[in-house]
Amino acid sequence: MRPHLAFGLLAACAPATTIAQQPAHPKPALVVFIAVDQMRPDYFDRWPGQLTGGLQRLYEKGAFFAQGMQDHAITETAPGHSTMLSGRSPASTGVVTNELGVPDSTSPLLIVPGIGASPRRVNGTLLFDWMKAADPQTRVLSVSRKDRGAILPIGKSKSPVFWYQSGIFTTSKYYGDTLPTWLVNWNARDGAFKMAGKTWNLLLDEKSYAEPDSQPWERGGSTFLLPKTFSNDSQRVALEVTATPYMDSLTADVALEGARILQLGKRENGTDLLSVSFSTTDAIGHVYGPDSRELHDQILRLDKWLGWFMDSLNVLVGGKPIVYALTADHGVTSFPEYLKSKNRMGGRARPDSAVLQTWRALEPKYKTNFGIEFNNGLMLADANAIRKAKINFDSLASEVASKLANITGVTRTYTPKILAAADTADLDAMRWRRSIPKDFGWIAAASLAPGYIWSFSPAATTHGTTNRDDVQVPIVFMGPGITAGKFTRARTIDIAPTLAAYLGIKPLEPLEGIPLPEVMKAP
């Protein structure tokens, strides 16, 4: 285990130029970055002998960090994705929550209705910017089922970035006014719509799954048994497919087609970047839980899709070197009801009473909208409006924090004043610091006990806390010159500087993360 705090301080204070180093391995034709939404490290070895595809290959042949961390407080999809190829925490990238991530009404989607999206809120540069600065001919493609999964690993570059909406893959007007011909042709195959009437059944024999398929807390207690049959209605199936393993196969297929058309990895002497974020594990994990038969089958199928995907990429680049990096945007906490059935601690923390009690009379009294919202333990507020109304901010913050502290499951609370003075030994406080930008409007924050989730409904489980199950993610590197092995701790903010060091390029700004020495060892 390395002293991460010391390394992190050194990296943050050092000029960006000190992070580059001369690679001692063949120059890769392609960097393939893979994010698996809501992937837990234990999924790699939970079912011995059953993974035989891409996940198994990465686990056995890569540098695998079982204690990777999204080392910040609000462990959601957007903040998590913003750390992966930036080398910086959400407090630096500016992506604090999902809602304050990529939604952008000024950048409507092409062809289909939906919430517009762009990277306008993203601060700073990312790996692709560094690659482009070193080699202006660098090509890139990013694909995901989710807009934030496609956008945030690339940053503000107006590059080929596509995501799924209403049965097709599209993009927003931030990136252009039309879809490329190759994607129009791919959409014309009607991949999602052709799932109408088909069935999701187990990949392996039923005896291979130890999990019971009758846990009543799954999916709100409704239609939670396998097999599951898709609707015959083509419009409904476009939504239904997003919560089944087949969505990942569609994502992999469109990414492979785009890589082929864009000729990624085919240049004579250059390195390109392909980013793919697979979202189905998140969709299934929320409604069925990480201990379900459905999640087990999802991981087996993702393993299979990834094996095919990696084999296909190898053919596409003609056997040239490829370097892979894989991680997740967050983990997930088991259903509290499941934990209780195993005599373990867990529960659902409900913040609604604290929120309502504090603000119900305040805004009408002052005839002011104080911008009050609650997200995974963070009470957002317009601090300037509160002070302008001549309200004592610190006193109000203390009152809000005390109400949060009374919620069952809450273990620690912070106000801006308390967080600023917190000792670095307070792990939760440091994660909150890495989540909240200095100029961000908030009034109180709360952390939960292990096994607890912020939840208004028993129909799903979730993530978003500072706890290990939500913070811990796998981090894997595989490629020429990277020593295979099992290692302990790393952070997602270490991925970009590690890849930069591997490629021998310089980040364009100081980073919080560091190049991982285990990955950079000579073979």
Do 359 and 311 belong together in one domain? Answer: no
273 located within any domain: no
Do 366 and 292 belong together in one domain? Answer: no
Do 440 and 480 belong together in one domain? Answer: no
Tell me the β-bridge partners of 486: 64
Among 416, 449, 482, identify where a domain stops: 449
67 located within any domain: yes
Do 94 and 219 belong together in one domain? Answer: yes
Do 293 and 331 belong together in one domain? Answer: yes
Judge contact between 193 and 238, C-beta under 8 A.
yes
Do 35 and 112 belong together in one domain? Answer: yes
* Strands of the sheet with 373-375, listed across from one edge: 373-375, 378-380, 442-448, 410-414
Do 471 and 445 belong together in one domain? Answer: no
Q: How far apart are CA 149 and CA 248, in angstroms?
A: 13
276 located within any domain: no
Burial zone of 67 (CB within 10 Å; 0-12 exposed, 13-18 middle, 19+ buried): middle
Do 206 and 300 belong together in one domain? Answer: yes
275 located within any domain: no
- Taking the chain, what is the end-to-end CA distance rounded to the nearest angstrom? 21
- Residues with Cβ within 8 Å of 145's Cβ and at least 6 positions away in sequence, in order, are 163, 164, 242, 247, 248, 251, 277, 278, 279, 280
Q: Which residue type, as a one-letter code, is found at position 496? A: A
Among 449, 479, 503, identify where a domain stops: 449
pLDDT of residue 521: 61
278 located within any domain: no
Do 215 and 360 belong together in one domain? Answer: no
pLDDT of residue 16: 43
SS3 95: coil
Q: What is the pLDDT along the chain (523 residues), one digit of tens a residue?
A: 333 333 333 333 344 434 445 556 889 999 999 999 999 999 999 999 999 999 999 999 999 999 999 999 999 999 999 999 999 999 999 999 999 999 999 999 999 999 999 999 999 999 999 999 999 999 999 999 999 999 999 999 999 999 999 999 999 999 999 999 999 999 999 999 999 999 999 999 999 999 999 888 998 777 778 999 999 998 899 999 999 999 999 999 999 999 999 999 999 999 999 999 999 999 999 999 999 999 999 999 999 999 999 999 999 999 999 999 999 999 999 999 999 999 999 999 998 776 777 777 787 888 888 888 899 999 999 999 999 999 999 999 999 999 999 999 999 999 999 999 999 999 999 999 999 999 999 999 999 999 999 998 888 999 999 999 999 999 999 999 999 999 989 999 999 999 999 999 999 999 999 999 989 764 3
Do 408 and 487 belong together in one domain? Answer: no
For residue 122, the domain's CATH number is 3.40.720.10
Neighbours of 321 (CB within 10 A): 16
Q: How far apart are CA 26 and CA 384, in angstroms?
A: 54
- Give the DSSP H or E segment for 186: helix 181-187
Range of the domain at 470: 4-268+283-338+465-520
Do 306 and 441 belong together in one domain? Answer: no
Strand 161-165 relative to strand 168-170, pairing: antiparallel
Q: How far apart are CA 38 and CA 149, in angstroms?
A: 12
133 located within any domain: yes
Q: Which residue type, as a one-letter code, is found at position 99? A: E
Provide the number of structural domains found in the chain: 2
pTM, two decimals, is: 0.94
For residue 445, the domain's CATH number is 3.30.1360.150
C-alpha radius of gyration, the chain, whole number: 23
Judge contact between 110 and 171, C-beta under 8 A.
yes
Tell me the β-bridge partners of 431: none
Closest CA to 470 of 9, 104, 69, 87: 69
Q: Give alpha helix (H) positions in 318-442.
A: 336-341, 352-359, 362-366, 383-388, 393-405, 416-421, 427-435
Judge contact between 130 and 506, C-beta under 8 A.
yes
Q: What are phi and psi of 117, to 5 degrees?
A: -155, 150
277 located within any domain: no
Do 318 and 429 belong together in one domain? Answer: no
154 located within any domain: yes
